[in-house]
Structure 1
Amino acid sequence: MYCKVICITYKYDNKVVMRYQVKDPATLRPRITGCLRGVGCFGWLGLVAAGLLPGRLLAQGPGGVSGTLLDRRTRQPLPFANILLLRQADSTLIGNTQTAENGTFVLTNLALGRYVVRAEALGYQAVRRPTTLAAAAPVVRLGEWLVAPAAVQLGGVVVQGEKAAVVNDLGKTTLNVSKDLNSAGGTAADILQKVPSVAVDDNGQVSLRGNSSVTLYLDGKPAPPNLRLDQLPASRLETIEVITNPGAQYSAQGTGGIINLVQKKQEQPGWNGDALATAGTRDKYTAALSGNRQVGKFNFSGTVDGLSNLFHGSSALQQVATVDGRTTRTDQTGASTRRQTNHSLRLGVDYTISDEQRVSLTAQYYAEHYRTAQDFTTLLARDPTPAFLLRNQNTQADDLQGSRVSGTYRRTWAASPGRELTASASYYLDVGTVTTQQRVLDGPASYSRNARQQFLDVTIHMPSVQVDYVHPLDEKRRWEAGIKTDALLTPGTSDYAVQATPGSEFVRRDTGSYRYSYRQLIPQAYGSYRHKAGLWEYQAGLRIEFTGLSAQVLPTGTASQRILNLFPSATVARTLPHEQRLQVSYSRRVNRPNFLQVIPLPFYSDARNYVVGNVDLRPEYVHVAELGHQATWKSTTLNTTLFGRFASQSIQSLRTIDTVATRRSGQPDFITRTSYANFGHTASYGLEVSLTQTVTKWWKLTANGSYYRNQVASFTGDGTRANFTGTAYLLNQFSPTKTLAVQLSGDYRAPLVVPQGRLLAVYGVDVALRQRLFHDRAALTLRVSDLFNTRRQYAQFAADGLTSDIQTKYETRVGYLGFSWFLGSKKSGSSIEDQPRGDSGGLGG
């Protein structure tokens, strides 16, 4: 037995040495093996018994050690870092634990004596601190413990400890925007294409696992309803967090999940900043300037950015409609231009009252201008009338301005690590106008030549307040609670006008003009309990939300809802041997109808199509379950997730022929109407896989994909439609030299069924490179999106008496050249630790 034990010891002592990363392993190995040889039979039994105990090996006593692990540069907490307690005399491992999400750790029940506390965090230098537990001071509080990013020597090249562009965890995916070279000159919509099961259409509408009910957050607070991902510059963002199955501490809104857009906020000591300018082919430009200045207990930060993009596009439509026994065939081709212009100014100040208290204030202003022009040539054939040709032009002009003010107060207790109080308030004010016009440029004399216009005057008020509190019962148990109230008020007008002759003024018509008001109030409260028991971790929570909304449209009618809901959630996780983790989670969520889906106000996209809400529309409820497994090896991380989504009262959009409007129009074609309705139960389920692999010192591979059964309710209400679909994304990161980085990526979205048809496959390839210059004071980035010009949208729809085939192709193959200059002590580091941190804003409550 003694010989067997010694053999096993020799087999594993190399791993021990490598784990502690000592500079001279030869001096440590004899001490380990010598110590193990001297252990008798009873000693071995004790070690075996101790190894079977969950959690830590602790010498029972009155002592204790606590502290908070922080990033030295950003002073952000480091969660899930390993804390080791070693006996100072012989470096024997006495106990270990992990830091909590806020970076805190506690070791208790320690015998008095001299120890060394060692902290190990991925991507950071390991640090040690001697500690003495004496009778006069048995409890030692280390306070804030600052650690620096690791520097690893690879063949003479020093590379800073590095996080990936895409970080996959169980139930959560984080995209580090500044690490993704393909973000240069792009938008948030471009970045989100890299997340498993995510799809973003040409209008910036995002869907997750085939579900478009995704809740957007901006810095941890609900985003304005008019936020468009395709108009939000990627340069404004630090990270994007995608949470597929949120717990009770998150809002229940969004059956598809939550996407939190975290904006840049510099908090590095001293004076720091960066400037960025990017130019793209065919009139596309972005620029950004951000920085911070830390003076004593104050940190001042600011960001200003702008974007001006011109995109060209084309479209084709083949449509057949039957009204009153007569069939109309439409064959349409079109060309379009889309100009996006926006700029933003964001200012913030943080004040550290004490080591336990901090206040943050942020103010932001932005302006967005959106112009589209579409020219169509349409061949109309209506039995038995001979075919004729039409030329139409549709234009849209959006002019929006918004402001946001928010404040946060955070309170911690050094005597009670993990205890935290957060209170915050925010207010959004968005105002603007949206003008759409439709003109007939050429056609038969019998066809109306009057130009039509819809003018929307939009105002959005969004106040929000919340309080969250976390209280640890001990080092293994804690409870958390919070309250929150969100409000939304949108008064406005919609004026319909007609231009009798080209060049004349538009004359308002009472018919088709409306005044509207929409109000929504959602008070909420939640509570959750978390318990760690050895290798197991449990969390259960309950969220209560009341929905009160009222909508009034004059002169058509009103709508109101008053609903109280309970949303339970639970998570069970198990730590497995060899760096593995297994987790199962469940939550109940809701998709509340939004303003456009409820209010009975028609919005005209062109002269033949309009969208109108349904006052009888009710919320959609969904049960979400996930089973995830994570495994980590030396250079590989593999995440696998099985998921299921079971919905009732599914909200679906429907496109039909408006036969009444078609008769009244007096034109030889037809008018379509898009609205919303609740259908029956649906169920979708599938598999997601993500892999991060370091192939060589200069090549890192990130791959993710999904394969799932997507089920939707049939538009006829007599069943469901389903297909097996999926997504795939592959990112190659190359470092051919110490200053050059290259990324090659490709994505694919398989065909997807919708209630009235299906969307065909979309795929493309992107390439980018970044060269660091002037001793890391600057960087030059070159990228080409959609290298082979393959990304385009194909859709096939069918309804009673209506079939449509639609093809759209926007300008997706674009070359971008960007230049960045880093100010102060900030440099073009290869690691995310060298980039500004964002303010998550606190998603709780």
Structure 2
Amino acid sequence: MKFTSILIIIFTLLFTTINFSQRGMGNFGGSVTGQVIDNADSSPVEYANVVLFNLADSMQANGTISNEQGIFKLEKIRPGTYYLKVSFIGYESIFVESFEINRNNRTLDLGEILLPRIAYQMEEAEVTADKPPIEYKIDKKVVNAAEYYSATTGTAVDILENVPSITVDIEGNVQLRGSGSFTVLIDGRPTILDANDALQQISANMIENIEIITNPSAKFDSEGETGIINIILKEERSSGITGIVNMNAGFDDKYGGDFLFNYRNSKFSVNLGGDYNNRTYPGSSLEERKTFINDTTIFTNSSGSNDRDRLRWGLKGGIDYNLTPNDLFSFSIQYGSRSYRNLSNISFAEFTDPVSLSNYYLSRNDRDRGGTYYAGSFDYDRKFNNDGHLLKAQIYFSERDFSEESINELVDNNDITTSGRKLTEDGPSESKQFKVDYELPFNETNKFEAGGQLRFNKREDNNNLYDYLPAEGLFILQPQFSSDVNYDRNIHALYGIYSGEINGLGYQAGLRSEYTDRTISLVTNNNDFEINRWDYFPTLHFSYEISAIQQVMLSYTSRIRRPRGWQLEPFETWTDAFNVRKGNPGLKPQYIDSFEMGLQTFWKSNLISLEAYYRKTNNNIERIRSVYESNVTLSTYENIGTTSALGGELMLNSKAFPFWTFNLLGNFYHYEIDGTLGGKDINRSNFNWNVRLNNTFIFDNTTRVQINSRYNAPSVSAQGEREGYFSTSFSIRKDLLDKMLTATLQVRDVFSTAKWESSIDALDFSSYSEFKRKSPMVMLNLKFNINHYKNDKKRNGDRDGGGDDEGLGEEF
């Protein structure tokens, strides 16, 4: 009843607004056009309110909002004399004085309209308004990374934990609308790393903004259950040499830095950047497990230290060359290394009931994974004219060489190793991609798009298992448990999109077709798992402008989530003495149907966004745990029926006072799993929700304080549930030396309340586990601007199309 009532309120608000709002437009006459520009950085202002008034009585005659390029057009204006008001949150309103529309002057172009950012006077100091932290566009949310001071010394994950649609657990794992299956792009290109690894790899200081696309069009890859996260990196557009340098340090062996330099003239630009960051996260974990064998219950309790280290460094460079005003060639390349290490010392206590047998021992675990990678791309953009007729082509290539070593040792009370296992895994992987996109506009509102893509992915895995022999004090290879696996996955795609407008109703219809050719070869026993399949993914998007300050959007997309490589691995991996995991090469891909409806409106100077969504997933992939032997549990993956998520999102962006702005975000949904597991029916559901409150306080033109709080409510899975948790972060930013130097102090998880708790209740065992990082975490960042570096707000406006989230065969 609680969920039903909330859902009724959402749809009532949506449809009441649609039915009773007035468009306030005439039916015939002239037109007025123009472009709204940010006066501070010359970037276009999207969703600016443009309202036309009659000069005689100041009654509203027409209205609209600016598009992605800041361009607006008012049509069907009756003959008369008017004035225009242009406004947007965080900017001063601009009035265009008296002008006339008549038979001899039906079309009027007002050119560029410059909006100045609001400046407040506080204690004799001038304060300039910041950009809104989140901007809502017709097909995506855009997160302005510079507005999240608390994430300055972190990664993309630290920014995302404060934005709508995203949840981040205590270990840094990202979920988009409750699912960990999504695509990550970097500047519209595929990433060489796994999605979560890529987000952990990118320094927050290197990010311009983050685009969250929950219902992508057919232009994008269909991969990912819940959509796309596109990371747009910084690039300077000013002429000459500019640059930016960051250095950071904090408690518990955290330190690093990054730099970005640019040179630009009228014909070409060159950029070079790099970063180095070491992050150590001390933590602790505990688990209480019961295993049921016949009439005997085995109790296994464990607790101890669980430390995680991440070290990453990378170099990147690129060049853009304007062969002609309409022809742009680009080349970019990156090279780097990353490593992840998990060290734990866990004390175990084991006893049985009814026979009271007790054992006590220490488990030492050392898992180290990492290696080097490189990636590059060639891009060519051809503009046939200035009306949007263009052709884009891209060649992308990448390769990585990663290895992993996991060692587990059991130590008795005399510090003697009694048993142990070592697992090694290594092998290169590579990816190649060829992509072409074409856009042909027929007029100002109708456009045809088409394109194709070829993707070739290869990966080799060489896995060896060693057992520890106490008598010899050595790890001895066990060939019968070792394996060599080759992965080949090729995906080729074609798409077409037609978009237009009828009586104020914007529409876009698309179809994407993908052919999957996948082979997993077990070299050791000559066993292959193959897929050869065509899939089709329709998409529909609608938008309707209710008034100058209100717009409603509706969309449907069909998507796929292919199993990840490690979910398919058909061999055993021991994570410690009592836990083993094994993939399932027979996993089927998930197929997803996603519906969304959204409303955006302004109330005074407050931006309000309301969204409702429904997502159904077939062939749902779940991590399943079972008893492997005695007190050892096995983790694997199975297709478990269907899941559904029905819910809504709410965002309020408000300036409560000249010195205080806040951003309130809420996401709530009803989640249900319906399927079979072990021959038994499963039907589990619960109400999930999370809320965030981001506050920014402006003390003067050089000082900002930010306080961010978030709460993630409990959630369920096929076998158990995860508990909710709350956390708060604090940061203060100070500009020095005429903004040539900026210092930011951040404290994350101020009250040490964030932790990961989960429980499982299966047929033959149950468990409760907990993981907590040492907190609060304190970091200091120093940023140096060279030649008054400014972030470009217009970068990669057209590089948001289709990319593979893996690029190296991580999903099959």
What's the TM-score, normalizing by structure 2?
Answer: 0.86
Aligned to 1:154: 120
Q: Secondary structure at the match of 2:662?
A: strand
Query: Does structure 2 conserve the Cα–Cα contact (< 8 Å) formed by 1:151 and 1:159?
Result: no
1:673 aligned to 2:612? Answer: no
1:761 match:
724
Partner amino acid for 1:475? E
Q: Match of 2:346?
A: 376
Number of residues paired by the alignment? 773
Amino acid at match of 1:58: G
2:568 to 587, 598, 604: 598
SS at match of 1:450: strand
Pairwise CA distance, 1:76: 6.0
Name 1:193's counterpart in structure 2: 161
Q: Deviations over 1:732-788 (max 9, x none)?
A: 111011211111110000000111100001110111110111111111111110000
Q: Distance in 1 between matches of 2:546 and 2:447?
A: 23
Q: Deviations over 1:4-54 (max 9, x none)?
A: xxxxxxxxxxxxxxxxxxxxxxxxxxxxxxxxxxxxxxxxxxxxx996436
CA distance in 2 between counterparts of 1:83 and 1:413 reads 31
Alignment match, 2:237: 267
Among residues 175, 179, 188, which one is paired with 1:207 in the alignment? 175
Give the AA of the match of 2:235.
Answer: K
Separation in 1, partners of 2:537, 2:70 = 29
- What is the RMSD of the two structures over their aligned residues, measured on CA atoms? 3.8
Please report how far the alpha carbon of residue 165 of structure 1 lies from its aligned counterpart in structure 2 after TM superposition. Answer: 2.0
Alignment CA distance shift 1:96-1:637 (3 Å): closer
Code of the residue aligned with 2:644 in structure 1: it is: A
Q: In the alignment, is the contact (CA less than 8 A) between 1:551 and 1:599 conserved in 2?
A: no
* CA deviation string 1:188-235 (max 9, x = no partner): 222221133422234433222322222222221232343513343222
Match of 1:802 among 746, 755, 765: 765
Match of 1:289 in 2: 259
Partners of 1:811 and 1:449 in 2: CA distance: 31
For residues 835 and 98 of structure 1, the distance between their equivalents in structure 2, rounded to whole angstroms, comes to 19
SS in 1 for 2:570: coil
- How far the C-alpha of 1:461 sits from its partner, in A, is 0.9
The answer on whether the counterparts of 1:777 and 1:823 sit within 8 Å (CA) in structure 2 is yes
Q: Contact 1:124/1:147 (CA < 8 Å) preserved in 2?
A: no
Q: State the AA in 2 paired with 1:166.
A: I
- Asked if residue 630 in structure 1 is aligned to residue 603 in structure 2, the reply is no
Which residue in the other structure is 2:660 paired with? Answer: 699
Alpha carbons 1:623, 1:645 under 8 Å: kept: yes
Deviation at 1:279, TM superposition (A): 1.1
Greater relative contact order structure (CA < 8 Å, 6+ sep): 2
Q: 1:841 and 2:799 equivalent?
A: yes
Pairing 1:685–2:646 present: yes
Task: Tell me whether 1:814 sits opposite 2:785 in the alignment.
Answer: no
Residues 24, 60 of structure 2: 8 Å contact kept: no
Distance 1:69 1:520, change over 3 A: farther
Distance between the aligned counterparts of 1:296 and 1:500, measured in 2? 68
Superposed CA deviations along residues 119-176 of structure 1, whole A, max 9, x for unmatched, are: 988767969999999xxxx99999xx87766243433755556322233446532222
Q: What amino acid is the match of 1:693?
A: S
Distance change in 2, residues 1:127/1:562 (3 Å): farther
Asked whether the equivalents of residues 99 and 105 of structure 1 are also in contact (C-alpha less than 8 Å), the reply is yes
> Pairwise mapping of residues 81-100 of structure 1 onto structure 2 (< 5 A)?
100=67
Aligned counterparts of 1:473 and 1:839: Cα–Cα separation in 2: 21
Q: Matched residues in 1 for 2:75 and 2:548: separation?
A: 26
Higher Cα Rg: structure 1 or 2? Answer: 1
Aligned to 1:548: 517
SS in 2 for 1:296: coil
Unaligned 5+ runs, structure 1 = 1-48, 60-64, 663-668, 828-832
Name the aligned partner's letter for residue 771 of structure 2. T
Identity %: 25
Q: Which residue of 1 aligns with 2:5?
A: none
Q: Distance in 2 between matches of 1:697 and 1:176?
A: 20
Instruction: Tell me if structure 2 keeps the 8 A contact 1:219–1:840.
Output: no
SS at match of 1:582: strand
Which segment is superposed worse, 420-429 or 553-562? 553-562
**What is the DSSP-based 3-state SS (H/G/I as helix, E as strand, rest coil) of the residue aligned with 1:189?**
helix
Contact 1:729–1:748 under 8 Å retained in 2: yes
Deviation string, structure 1 residues 290-318 (Cα, Å, up to 9, x no partner)? 12111231111121111111111111110
Q: In the alignment, is the contact (CA less than 8 A) between 1:57 and 1:96 conserved in 2?
A: no
* 1:525 partner amino acid: L
Q: Secondary structure at the match of 2:205?
A: helix
* From 322, 338, 347, the counterpart of 2:308: 338
Distance 1:570 1:516 in 2: 40
TM-score normalized with structure 1 length: 0.83
Q: After TM superposition, give the deviation of residue 699 of structure 1 in Å.
A: 0.6
- Whole-angstrom distance in 1 between the partners of 2:698 and 2:472: 59
Q: Distance in 2 between matches of 1:209 and 1:491?
A: 33
What residue in structure 1 maps to residue 30 of structure 2?
A: 58
Note if 1:239 corresponds to 2:212: no
Deviation string, structure 1 residues 432-484 (Cα, Å, up to 9, x no partner): 21110000121699x98233111111322121221111211111211211211
Letter in 1 for 2:133: A
Deviation at 1:326, TM superposition (A): 3.4
- Give 2:331's aligned residue: 361
**1:173 is the counterpart of 2:141:** yes
Answer yes or no: is 1:520 the counterpart of 2:489: yes
- Give the match's secondary structure for 1:511: helix
Task: Work out whether 1:390 is the aligned partner of 2:348.
Answer: no
Identify which range, 749-758 or 326-335, moves more after superposition.
Answer: 326-335
Kindly indicate whether residue 278 of structure 2 is the aligned counterpart of residue 308 of structure 1: yes
Deviation at 1:692, TM superposition (A): 0.2
> Equivalent residue of 1:597, what SS?
helix
CA distance in 2, matches of 1:372, 1:590: 32
Supply the AA of the counterpart residue of 1:152. I
Q: Please show how residues 731-810 of structure 1 align to structure 2 within 5 Å.
A: 731-810=694-773
Instruction: Work out which of the residue numbers 378, 381, 393 in structure 2 matches 1:410.
Output: 381
Cα contact 2:40–2:116 (8 A) shared by 1: no
Q: Specify the SS of the correspondent of 1:719.
A: strand
- Partner residue of 1:488? 457
Give, in whole Å, the separation in 2 of the partners of 1:177 and 1:484.
31
The structural deviation recorded for 1:96 is 8.4
1:327 corresponds to? 297
Distance 1:770 1:147, change over 3 A: farther
| Equivalent residue for 1:470, pick from 439, 448, 453 | 439
Distance 1:423 1:66, change over 3 A: farther
**In structure 2, the residue corresponding to 1:843 is in which secondary structure?**
coil
Aligned match of 1:589 in 559, 565, 569? 559
Alpha-carbon distance in 2 for matches of 1:353, 1:98: 35
Matches within 5 A, 1:823-838: 823-826=786-789, 837=795
**Does the 8 A contact of 1:106 with 1:475 survive in 2?**
no
Task: Identify if the C-alpha distance between structure 1 residues 634 and 108 changes in structure 2 by more than 3 Å, giving closer, same or farther.
Answer: closer
- Tell me which residue corresponds to 2:9: none
Q: Judging changes above 3 Å, is the alpha-carbon distance between structure 1 residues 327 and 152 closer, same or farther for their aligned structure 2 residues?
A: closer
SS at match of 1:235: helix
**Alpha-carbon distance, 1:103 to partner:** 5.8
Q: Which amino acid aligns with 1:399?
A: G
Counterpart of 1:768, as a letter, is S
Task: List runs of 5+ in structure 2 lacking aligned partners.
Answer: 1-21, 804-812
2:25 touches 2:76 (CA, 8 Å); kept in 1?
A: no
**Correspondence 1:449 to 2:415:** no
Bigger shift: residues 454-463 or 758-767: 454-463
